[in-house]
Amino acid sequence: MRKFAFAALIGCLFFSAQALAAKPSFKCSKSAHEIEELICNNDELAGLDVSLNNLYKTLLKNTPAKAQKRLKAEQSGWVKGRNDCWKSEDKVGCTRSEYQSRINELKDR
């Protein structure tokens, strides 16, 4: 009985983690771009999106008010650049690379 309960618990945790991992920081129902749809349908990219969003919010909160406007403009520009990955032959790889670069850039601040 214990083995079954343990296996059931592990199964629930596994499927719950997968369901959570597939949700990016934005509402997929309002995605307006091919790359946003790609992120909504790719667990790895959705996870990178959540990681970047958390890092960005933390950085924004700890940035002086005068510098917040610039950081917001940079992020908006980055999103436009990320969305240019629709032109890439490897859209997933391009998008992954954009997220990893931006995450590293924000971590260095």
pLDDT at 7: 44
Q: Among 3-7, 27-31, 33-37, 101-105, which stretch is predicted with the lowest mean pLDDT?
A: 3-7
How far is residue 31's CA from residue 101's CA, in Å, rounded to a whole number?
Answer: 22
Phi, psi angles (nearest 5°) of residue 69: -60, -40
Alpha-carbon gap, residue 62 to 31, rounded angstroms: 29
How much is the pTM?
Answer: 0.78
